[in-house]
């Protein structure tokens, strides 16, 4: 197969932990050809198909100078067997436009994963609301009074922006309501921006678990991202410590309840975030943690992913 990765610049990859790098390495190990571009390299000209300026690469086996460019130039996306959208968040206007170009490429015959329309249809925080049986008390609103009533009911709450990533912009407010008004104003910008409010889950002390679903099936190990020191955020980007652990019975229940639904919508790879027994986020843009789980648990996540991709393309 000839696989195109639409991703961040190759030069900024942290290869010792990067999930896209691990996908590329496994693809090459299986004999597939690897190419890469950035979303900004996508273009569509009148009367033509969607193309990208791509670099066809070979991985060297090193973690430093880890690739060589074999050739570079414009290619039609439909000429690849698969185009994997692996651009990291934020999901901004440019990401949105890139999904439209990828969707046009699909109409021309390209196979894109995750499916571009489904990337747009599953905003990573809002998507959990479709599955109330798996989540804790949650409110999505612009209204400050709604937030205050939610706080009065649940006492300890978490507030977060809908477009945050890596734990950015998350606030915890205790029963005393200290600074609640100021935090609401900061996040919802005086009623102009929608925010999410959730009951605080003390189980965060045991970690925010990343559960990977590939082709509708859960990886049997999660990566529990455990907050350090006085932090309430387990995100690795916020300094959390990642510990691989087997899925619990509840983890399997959530993953097997959601996985087939999302797989049927063209979401080959999904990352669920679970705290205690509650689903808190559904990641579809660029789920990570392949290398951490593989190294700690001995389960080959990249191999499972490439196997699922090969099956999807048959």
What are φ and ψ of residue 266, in 5° steps? 90, 20
Q: What is the DSSP letter of 44?
A: E
Asked if 172 is an active-site residue, the reply is no
> Is 273 marked active-site?
yes
Concerning whether 125 is annotated as a catalytic residue, the answer is yes
Q: Which of 158, 186, 180 has its CA nearest to residue 273?
A: 158
> Which of 225, 235, 251, 292 is labelled catalytic?
225
Residues 125-129: contacts with CB within 8 Å, 24+ apart?
Answer: 125/160, 125/162, 125/164, 125/196, 125/281, 126/162, 126/196, 127/281, 127/282, 127/284, 128/279, 128/280, 128/281, 128/282
Catalytic residue among 25, 75, 199, 233: 233
Run of H or E residues at 114: none
250 counts as catalytic: no
Cβ burial 15-35 (10 Å sphere, 16+ → b, else e): bebbbbbbbbbbbbeeebbbb
Active site residue 210: yes
Task: Please indicate whether residue 241 is annotated as part of the active site.
Answer: no
Q: Choosing from 114, 210, 235, 292, which is the catalytic residue?
A: 210
Active-site residue, from 111, 125, 199, 209: 125
Annotated catalytic residue within 25, 75, 160, 209: 160
Q: Is 235 a catalytic residue?
A: no
How many Cβ atoms sit within 10 Å of the Cβ of residue 259? Answer: 22
Annotated active-site residue 142? The verdict is no
What residues are annotated to the active site?
125, 160, 210, 225, 233, 273, 281, 283
């Amino acid at each position: 197969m000839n696989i195109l990765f639409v991703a961040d610049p190759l030069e900024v990859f942290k290869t010792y932990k990067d999930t896209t790098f691990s996908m590329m390495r496994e693809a090459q190990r299986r004999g597939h050809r690897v190419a890469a571009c950035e979303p900004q390299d996508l273009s569509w000209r009148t009367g033509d198909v969607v193309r990208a300026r791509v670099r066809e690469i070979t991985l060297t086996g090193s973690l430093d100078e880890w690739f060589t460019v074999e050739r570079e130039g414009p290619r039609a996306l439909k000429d690849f067997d698969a185009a994997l959208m692996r651009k990291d968040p934020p999901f901004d206007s440019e990401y949105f436009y890139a999904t439209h170009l990828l969707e046009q490429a699909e109409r021309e015959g390209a196979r894109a994963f995750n499916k571009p329309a489904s990337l747009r249809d599953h905003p990573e925080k809002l998507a959990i609301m479709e599955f109330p049986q798996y989540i804790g008390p949650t409110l999505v609103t612009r209204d400050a009074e709604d937030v205050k009533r939610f706080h009065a009911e649940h006492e300890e709450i978490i507030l977060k922006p809908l477009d945050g990533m890596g734990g950015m912009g998350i606030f915890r407010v205790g029963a005393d309501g200290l600074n609640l008004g100021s935090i609401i104003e900061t996040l919802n910008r005086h009623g102009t921006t929608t925010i999410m409010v959730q009951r605080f889950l003390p189980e965060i002390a045991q970690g925010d678990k990343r559960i990977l679903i590939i082709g509708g099936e859960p990886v049997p190990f999660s990566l529990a991202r455990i907050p350090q020191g006085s932090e309430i955020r387990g995100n690795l980007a916020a300094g959390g410590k990642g510990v691989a652990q087997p899925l619990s019975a509840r983890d399997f229940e959530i993953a097997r309840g959601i996985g087939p639904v999302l797989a049927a919508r063209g979401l080959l790879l999904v990352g669920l975030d679970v705290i205690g027994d509650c689903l808190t986020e559904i990641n579809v843009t660029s789920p990570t943690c392949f290398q951490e789980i593989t190294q700690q648990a001995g389960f080959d996540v990249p191999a499972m992913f490439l196997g699922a991709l090969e099956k999807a393309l048959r």
